Amino acid sequence: MLTERAKITLFFLVISLIIAFYTQVELIFFIAGILASLLLVSYIIFKFTQVREVACSRQMPSAVFEDQDLQVRLTLENKSLFHSYFISVVDNFSAELSHNQQKKLLFSYLSNRGTVQNIYKAHCLKRGVYWIGPLMLIMSDPLGFFKKNKIINLSSKLTVYPNVFKVTELGSFNKGVVAPRYGSHTTRRSGDYEEFFGIREYHQEDGLRKIHWPSSAKHNQLIVRHFEQTGAQSTTIILDLKYGNNLGEGRDTTLEYSIKIAGSLAKYFLDQGFLVQLLAYGDKPIITSFGKDPSHYSHILELLAQAEANSVYSLAEVLARLHYFIYPNSTLAIIRLDTDIEATRAIEQLIYTKNMSVYDVQLISATFDMSRAESPTHIMEVKGSEVVSYYVSCGDKLEYKFIHK
């Protein structure tokens, strides 16, 4: 393919030949000969430059957080016997703003059987899962008269996690005789156990699987195995992904705030030693198992990075559909609109039926959508201190909202 430079040179070559033919001036013939020689030599070199013999690779992190910069390292390897010159690489970094996605690098020289590297920086603007690539190689001769392109289908997955903030301390619960759910404690009772503690008489709630039949036969009554249970606390975090409940614009939407809060709460609870799971219902259910190791946190962040408000189910309907995954006597952290009265009633029902403790995070809808009238705060009618409420408005510094007073 001829470049603009080659076309201009070719134009002057034709003009000089025409002038030389009519004037018979040797100097003009000499100039035409030089121009022709440059084009011929460049073409010969260009023909021996095999773009198909250049291999590319990309090294970059697999995950970053929103608003972070990262470095992408591109490596070119020349597998041919000939040198290559002026190789331009265009990479498509889709996590950037649309007008800045084309990243261009110039490699002026690549020796035969040689390797060269270059780095470009990119900014990750918004959470999500992106595929970086493909690459385009543009190779030319040393004088830039000819060029050829090659598309390399090299794709790299990049997960941009939502921004999280530090949760300093959350309010705790005090439910009288009910064991506190804040922190870890050890109790000795039948249940999901870890270590054998002894035997005792059978109680109706024990179930048949705990019966120790040899001891029962010996004592002529039902005897169960008694285990020591480590009371590592469990927390379920629930998001509202109903289509139409995502208010606001850009990154100041209720969905983006919910996701940042969910990721931050997950980090806080995991740091406190809680077992944490994430529940939501988009176009398909989002259900994680309980876990507390770093890989579990990364899995939660990856799911949050992909979450979209595309569910047909209200939060109350989601609680009804997924209530089997919510453990009794555990903690629930729920993020929702302040106007969702049905969700308020569903949460109250969970508190009564499953003896839950709830961190209720309400997003003030009128601050995200100015066309909405302010609504009165809905206080749950529950006994004791089963609920700790937080109210978040658009523009709030979230790290300051979750400081227990």
Residue 404: the pLDDT is: 62
Residue 223: the pLDDT is: 72
Which residues contact residue 213 at a Cβ distance below 8 angstroms, ignoring those fewer than 6 apart? none
Q: Which of 132-146, 163-177, 233-247 shows the highest mean pLDDT?
A: 233-247
Percent of the chain residues topping a pLDDT of 90: 49
Q: Which residues of 216-231 are buried (b: 16+ CB within 10 A; e: fewer)?
A: beeeeebbbbbbebeb
Q: What is the pTM of this model?
A: 0.75
Sheet holding 128-132, edge to edge: 63-65, 156-161, 128-132
Residue 44: the pLDDT is: 83
Q: Peptide bond before 134: cis, by omega within 30 degrees of 0?
A: yes
Burial of 214: CB neighbours in 10 Å, binned 0-12, 13-18, 19+: exposed
The residue that leads in pLDDT, 176 or 328, is 328
By DSSP bridging, strand 115-124 and strand 63-65 are unpaired
Residue 165: the pLDDT is: 94
The residue that leads in pLDDT, 111 or 175, is 111
CA distances (Å), origin 350, targets 203, 358, 387: 26, 9, 12
- Going by pLDDT thresholds of 50, 70 and 90, the confidence category of residue 187 is very low
Residue 403: the pLDDT is: 75
Q: Say how many Å lie between the first and final Cα of the chain, rounded.
A: 70
pLDDT digits (tens, 9 = 90+) for 264-301: 999 999 999 999 999 999 888 898 989 988 899 999 99
Count of beta carbons in the 10 Å neighbourhood of residue 138: 17
Question: Which two structure tokens, joined as six digits, stand for 213?
Answer: 């039949």
Nearest-CA neighbor of 268 among 403, 388, 389, 166?
166
Question: Which two structure tokens, joined as six digits, stand for 22?
Answer: 């009519």
Q: Compute the mean pLDDT over every residue in the chain, rounded to the nearest whole number.
A: 84
How far out from the chain centre does Cα 346 lie? 30
User: At residue 402, does pLDDT exceed 80?
Assistant: yes
Residue 103: the pLDDT is: 94
Count of beta carbons in the 10 Å neighbourhood of residue 51: 18
- Going by pLDDT thresholds of 50, 70 and 90, the confidence category of residue 312 is very high
User: At residue 196, does pLDDT exceed 80?
Assistant: no
Interatomic CA distance for residues 241 and 246, integer angstroms: 8
User: At residue 340, does pLDDT exceed 60?
Assistant: yes
Question: Dihedral of the CA atoms 300, 304, 309, 315 (nearest 10)?
Answer: 30
Least confident of 28-37, 113-122, 223-232: 223-232
Nearest-CA neighbor of 103 among 125, 122, 131, 126?
122
Residue 209: the pLDDT is: 65
CA distances (Å), origin 405, targets 164, 171, 334: 21, 8, 20
Question: Which two structure tokens, joined as six digits, stand for 196?
Answer: 């054998």
- Going by pLDDT thresholds of 50, 70 and 90, the confidence category of residue 82 is confident
Residue 292: the pLDDT is: 87
CA distances (Å), origin 48, targets 75, 112, 136, 154, 303: 22, 11, 20, 25, 49
Nearest-CA neighbor of 156 among 129, 180, 124?
129
Interatomic CA distance for residues 70 and 154, integer angstroms: 18
The residue that leads in pLDDT, 200 or 76, is 76
User: At residue 202, does pLDDT exceed 50?
Assistant: yes
Q: Quick one: CA dihedral 275, 281, 286, 289, positive or negative? A: positive
User: At residue 394, does pLDDT exceed 60?
Assistant: yes
Question: Which two structure tokens, joined as six digits, stand for 229?
Answer: 């249970």
Question: Which two structure tokens, joined as six digits, stand for 390?
Answer: 């937080």
Q: Computed over its alpha carbons, how large is the radius of gyration of the chain?
A: 33
Nearest-CA neighbor of 73 among 100, 87, 91, 88?
91
Mean pLDDT of 217-234: 63
Residue 346: the pLDDT is: 93
User: At residue 217, does pLDDT exceed 90?
Assistant: no
139 contacts 148 by C-beta, under 8 angstroms: yes
